[in-house]
């Protein structure tokens, strides 16, 4: 009996980003301060950067799985 095994590099698996993690890491928006005040702009900018980074990690994971499913080189 011949067994064929495909060896692939494990794809990245980013941990889920929860709202609590996002708020505690990036800061929260102060509802009593002006929306476009410096502290709120900093918090929103940091939050958006974290979300963009997380989306790039998810896209990398999907690309890896797509490449493996297509039989192409693993990434």
* Model confidence at 21: pLDDT above 50: yes
**What's the confidence (pLDDT) of residue 18?**
87
HEC-encoded secondary structure of the chain: CCCCCCCCCCCCCCCCCCHHHHHHHHCCCCCCCCCCCHHHHHHHHHHHHHHHHHHHHHHHHHHHHHHHHCCCCCC
Residue 60 or 25, more confident: 60
* Model confidence at 72: pLDDT above 60: no
């Amino acid at each position: 009996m011949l067994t064929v095994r495909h060896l692939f590099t494990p794809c990245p698996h980013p941990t889920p980003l929860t709202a609590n993690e996002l708020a505690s890491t990036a800061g929260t928006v102060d509802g009593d301060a002006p929306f476009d005040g410096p502290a709120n702009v900093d918090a929103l900018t940091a939050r958006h950067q974290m979300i963009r980074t997380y989306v790039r990690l998810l896209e990398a994971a999907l690309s890896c799985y797509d490449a493996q499913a297509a039989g192409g080189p693993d990434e």
